[in-house]
Amino acid sequence: MRWAFKRMTKILKRIEDPRQPWKVRHSLVEILLICIIGITAGADSSHKIHVFAVNRTKWLKKYLHLNHGIPGRLTIERVLAVINPKAMERAFFSIMELAQQASKGKTVSIDGKAFFSNRNEDGSANIFYMVGAWCAANGVALGQVQTKEKSNEITAIPELLKYLGIKGATVTIDAIGCQKEIVKQIVKENKANYVIALKQNQPTMYNEFVEYAQDCIADPLQSSKYDKLVTLDKGHGRIEKREYFFFSDLTWFANRKDWVGLTGLVMVRSTRHVGNKEPTSELRYYITSLTKIQAAAEAIRSHWGIENCLHWVLDVVFNEDGWATKQNTTAANLSHIRRLTTNLLRADTTSSLSVPNKRYQCALSTDYLEQVIFRTRLFSEK
Q: Which domains does the chain have, with CATH numbers?
A: 197-294 (2.20.130.10)
Average predicted confidence (pLDDT) for the chain = 90
Q: Determine what percent of the chain is predicted with pLDDT higher than 70.
A: 93
Asked whether residue 382 carries a pLDDT value surpassing 60, the answer given is: no
Q: Please provide the DSSP assignment of 314-360 as one string.
A: IIIIS-TTT---S-HHHHHHHHHHHHHHHHHHHH--S----HHHHHH
Q: Out of 82-96, 111-125, 172-186, 224-238, which region has the weakest mean confidence (pLDDT)?
A: 111-125
Has this prediction a pTM greater than 0.75? Answer: yes
Asked whether residue 118 carries a pLDDT value surpassing 80, the answer given is: no
Single-letter amino acid, residue 282: E
CA distance 149 to 128: 7
pLDDT in tens, 20-46: 999 899 999 999 999 999 999 999 888
Asked whether residue 276 carries a pLDDT value surpassing 90, the answer given is: no
Q: Which helix (H) or strand (E) holds 87?
A: helix 85-95
Average pLDDT over residues 97-117: 83
The pLDDT, as a whole number, for residue 379 is 60
CA distance 199 to 206: 6
The pLDDT, as a whole number, for residue 117 is 60
pLDDT band, very low/low/confident/very high, at 381 (cuts 50, 70, 90) = very low
CA distance 337 to 88: 8
pLDDT band, very low/low/confident/very high, at 212 (cuts 50, 70, 90) = very high
Q: Which helix (H) or strand (E) holds 183?
A: helix 180-184
Q: Which helix (H) or strand (E) holds 247?
A: strand 238-247
